[in-house]
């Protein structure tokens, strides 16, 4: 045996190494389970990072979401909450559409409510392309105009036509209504547009639905789209994942794994097994998925959901990119089109789509 000295940051570490005559097979290393399972973290104050734009600092500095721990307890209560959100968002849409240079047209596709968002100027490379958007809101929030901001940003920043699916939600319809409606729209589009010219995107529940659509497409032997962009997806609603704990009470949107979004998902699932890949796609077979770009933030409660899903695709041999933004909580990369980080996020996605979609 001999020893080696290593100096790291002023400290000298002494390692005893086996002699050169010993082989690895002769020196097995026993790995035992940790004696302490949980890490005790002292209470601390977390400052707003100075490493982001002033506009994003203002969002990061906001207090925890109102009533995050007081979700509705009746179907009527959930509907009232969803309606109130839509009522508050609707007046903001015209100015947003004007800033982004897009036109919005409500319609239906095979009975499914949709909005078509068309840029005033469509990029030359996007003339024959389409993006299908599935909105977030924990499967029960953001109906009607409240579903539109993310779709507007994609259409405006990418200069690409977008169809946003205003899917049915409880109490109108429960699992799997949202997925069924999104697939109805996708099937309708691939009749007239090459599947490789189509992108699918969405955040939160919309990110999960994007992934669930790919699983359903595999089940039904449908052609895959050219690319997908699942933003901070609810890819494991069984609440597994490290940042459900490390970012609890740090994320000022979702706040806690036991908050309103968990209650909303249970309401939508209506007793269905939460580990079903059509609710928790991280447990599905993702082989054959199209190229994907994931987005999250360092304070996002669902950062681990995003990371685990990204790794699942990489392990399956799919090209997948992960962009993580400094200081952001859940889905704050589409909070306001006037924020530099928001433009950056959507331009990254647009570049990814342009690389992978057909012409």
Q: Distance between CA 217 and CA 62 in Å, rounded?
A: 40
Q: Residue 343's pLDDT is what?
A: 98
Reported confidence tier of residue 11, pLDDT bands at 50, 70, 90: very low
Distances (CA, A) of 59 to 55, 143, 334: 7, 23, 11
Reported confidence tier of residue 106, pLDDT bands at 50, 70, 90: very high
In tens, the pLDDT along 131-164 reads: 999 999 999 999 999 999 999 999 999 999 999 9
Radius of gyration from C-alpha coordinates of the chain: 23
In tens, the pLDDT along 52-78 reads: 999 999 999 999 999 999 999 999 999
In tens, the pLDDT along 169-223 reads: 999 999 999 999 999 999 999 999 999 999 999 999 999 999 999 999 999 999 9
Reported confidence tier of residue 30, pLDDT bands at 50, 70, 90: low
Reported confidence tier of residue 41, pLDDT bands at 50, 70, 90: confident
Write b or e for each residue in 208-244: b if 16 or more Cβ atoms lie within 10 A of its Cβ, otherwise e. Answer: bbbbbbbbbbbeeebebbbbbbbbbbbbbbeebbebb
Which tokens sit at 342? 């928001």
Cβ-contact 266, 174 below 8 angstroms:
no
In tens, the pLDDT along 294-321 reads: 999 999 999 999 999 999 999 999 999 9
Domains of the chain: 66-356 (3.40.50.1820)
Helices (H), the chain: 54-60, 75-89, 93-100, 149-158, 177-189, 205-219, 243-246, 260-269, 303-315, 340-356
Reported confidence tier of residue 165, pLDDT bands at 50, 70, 90: very high
Cβ-contact 330, 204 below 8 angstroms:
yes
- What percentage of the chain exceeds 90 in pLDDT? 87
Q: Give me the chain's average pLDDT, please.
A: 92
Range in 32-41, 94-103, 143-152 the model is least confident about: 32-41
Distances (CA, A) of 229 to 15, 96, 103, 266, 287: 47, 22, 22, 25, 16
Helices (H), 144-191: 149-158, 177-189
Which tokens sit at 217? 């497409």
Residue with tokens 């001999």: 2
């Amino acid at each position: 045996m001999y020893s080696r000295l290593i100096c790291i940051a002023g400290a000298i570490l002494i390692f005893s190494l086996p002699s050169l005559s010993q082989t690895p097979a002769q020196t097995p290393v026993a790995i035992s389970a940790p004696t302490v399972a949980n890490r005790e973290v002292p209470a601390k104050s977390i400052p707003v990072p100075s490493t982001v734009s002033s506009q994003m600092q203002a969002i990061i500095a906001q207090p925890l979401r109102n009533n995050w721990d007081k979700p509705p307890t009746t179907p009527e209560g959930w509907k009232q909450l969803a309606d109130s959100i839509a009522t508050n968002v609707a007046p903001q849409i015209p100015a947003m559409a004007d800033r982004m240079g897009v036109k919005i047209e409500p319609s239906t596709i095979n009975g499914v409510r949709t909005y078509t968002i068309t840029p005033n100027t469509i990029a030359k490379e996007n003339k024959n392309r389409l993006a299908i958007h599935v909105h977030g809101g924990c499967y029960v929030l953001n109906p009607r105009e409240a579903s539109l901001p993310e779709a507007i940003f994609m259409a405006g920043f990418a200069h690409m036509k977008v169809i946003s699916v205003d899917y049915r939600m409880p109490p109108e319809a429960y699992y799997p209504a949202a997925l069924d409606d999104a697939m109805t729209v996708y099937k309708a589009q691939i009749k007239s547009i090459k599947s490789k010219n189509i992108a699918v995107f969405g955040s939160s529940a919309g990110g999960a639905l994007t992934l669930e659509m790919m699983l359903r497409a595999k089940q039904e032997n449908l052609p895959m789209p050219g690319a997908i962009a699942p933003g901070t997806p609810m890819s494991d609603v069984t609440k597994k994942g490290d940042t459900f704990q490390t970012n609890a009470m740090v994320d000022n949107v979702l706040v806690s794994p036991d908050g309103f979004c968990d209650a909303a998902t249970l309401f939508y699932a209506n007793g269905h097994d939460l580990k079903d890949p059509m609710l928790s796609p991280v447990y599905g077979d993702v082989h054959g998925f199209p190229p994907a770009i994931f987005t999250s933030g360092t304070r996002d409660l669902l950062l681990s959901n995003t990371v685990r899903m990204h790794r699942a695709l990489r392990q399956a041999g799919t090209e997948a990119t992960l962009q993580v933004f400094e200081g952001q909580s859940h889905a704050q990369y589409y909070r306001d089109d006037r924020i530099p980080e928001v433009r950056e996020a959507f331009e990254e996605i647009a570049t990814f789509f342009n690389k992978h979609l057909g012409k």
